[in-house]
Each structure stands twice: as C-alpha cells, then as structure tokens.
Amino acid sequence: HNQAPVIADNIVAEIRLGQTVSHYDGKVQAVAQMGLNAGMPLVYDYRHDVLPTPATKVGGMLRNGFNRGLYWATVRGLI
C-alpha cells in the first residue's frame, strides 16, 4: 500500500509517455507490537534504518485500533 502512488503514477506515465517516471523509495510506516498493551512506532526507508523509540501504551492502542478496523478498510480500498 505504501507503493500504490508510485504504481499509479507509472501506469499513467507508461500510457502517456511510454516509460515509467516514479521510483519507490521504500518508505514504511508501521507500529511494532511489544507485548499485549505496548507498541513502538517505526518509520524507515531504503536509505534510513529504523530508529528505535520506546514502546508506549499509545503505540499499542494505535496498533490494536488499526488491526481491528482500519486494516480491513485499507484492504478493501476504502482508505
């Protein structure tokens, strides 16, 4: 899903220009589950490694909320 804008740009460019124009930079945003109630936000790409941050209860709530509702909306293309 992080690469979707690049794919869309390249489909349009291939049709209009006959070549691709965008490249995926590997950017990822995620929350790692650290136990039952804690989560650690992760942001990284091909050039920058993960910078560890402390696991927090808010991070756990974000992860649980995403898993319970937003994930399925994302998979269905609603988000």
Residue 57 confidence (pLDDT) above 90: no
- Does 60 or 67 have the greater pLDDT score? 60
Question: Residue 49 sits in which domain range?
Answer: 4-75
Distance (Å, whole) CA 31 – CA 71: 13
Provide the number of structural domains found in the chain.
1
Q: Is-contact 26 45, C-beta < 8 A?
A: yes
Q: What is the DSSP letter of 68?
A: I
Residue 16 confidence (pLDDT) above 90: yes
CA dihedral 34, 35, 38, 42 (to 10 degrees): 10
Token pair 């808010």 in the structure block, residue? 58
Token output for 18: 């006959």
Q: What is the mean pLDDT of residues 72-79?
A: 76
The strand ranges marked E within 9-77 are: 28-33, 39-44
